[in-house]
Amino acid sequence: MLTLGVVLFLGSELMFFAAWFATYFDLRGRNSVWPPPYVHLDTVESTIGTFFLGISSLFVYFAVREVRKERQHRARWWFAAAIVCGLTFLAIAIHGWMSDDFGIASSAYASVYYGVTCFHGLHVTAGLIALTYALAGANRSAFVGADAAGADAIGYYWHFVFFVWFLGIWPMIYFVR
C-alpha cells in the first residue's frame, strides 16, 4: 500500500524536476537557436540507456511481486537484475557526459543539460542504494508478505525515477529541438 509519506516525498521530488523542466523550456523559448550548434548528443546511446532503465523498472515490479508472495529467493534475483540494469543505465549516462564536447559552463543549455541529467543521475544512484538495501534485506519484515511497505516504497521510488526520465528528461533533452 502506498503510504502518505511516500506520496508526499515523490510529490516533492516531482516539484524539483518540474523546476528543471520549466527552466529548460523558458530558456528554450528565449533563444532562437536551441540547443546551441555545438551540441551533438548521442540519441542511440541514450535510447539504449533508457531501455536498460525501463527493464530495470520492470524487474523491480517483478521483485516486489515476489516479495508479496513471500518468495524471497526469486525476489533477490529480480532485485539483482534490476541493479545490474540500473548500473548499466548509469554507466551509459556517465559515458555520455564524458563524451560531450561541452561543459557545464559552456552555455545556459549546457548548465540545464548537466543540471537535470546529473540531478537525475543522483536519483538513480540513491535508487540503486535502496535496491541494494532491498536485496540485502529481503527477509526483513518490511520486505516480506502482503504488507511489504519497504519493498513497495523502494519500488515506487524506482518507477518514479524511470518515468521522470522516460516521459520528461529523455524526450526533452534528446528530441525536443
In a domain, 47, yes or no: yes
CATH number at residue 135: 1.20.120.80
Q: What is the DSSP letter of 101?
A: S
- Which three three-digit cell numbers place residue 60? 523491480
Q: E strands within the chain?
A: none
H helices of 31-141, where?
43-68, 72-99, 108-136
- Cα distance between residue 132 and residue 155, in whole Å: 12
Can you give the pLDDT at residue 96?
A: 97
Can you give the pLDDT at residue 7?
A: 86
- Cα distance between residue 154 and residue 132, in whole Å: 10
In a domain, 135, yes or no: yes
In this prediction, what percent of the chain has a pLDDT beyond 90? 84
In a domain, 69, yes or no: yes
Task: Give the model confidence (pLDDT) of 138-171 as tens digits.
Answer: 667 667 777 788 889 999 999 999 999 999 999 9
Task: Inform me whether the pLDDT recorded for 6 exceeds 70.
Answer: yes
Domain assignment of residue 154, given as a range = 4-27+42-174
In a domain, 35, yes or no: no
In a domain, 36, yes or no: no
In a domain, 133, yes or no: yes
Domain count for the chain:
1
In a domain, 34, yes or no: no
Which one, of 156, 173, 144, lies nearest residue 72 by Cα? 144
- Say what the pTM is: 0.93
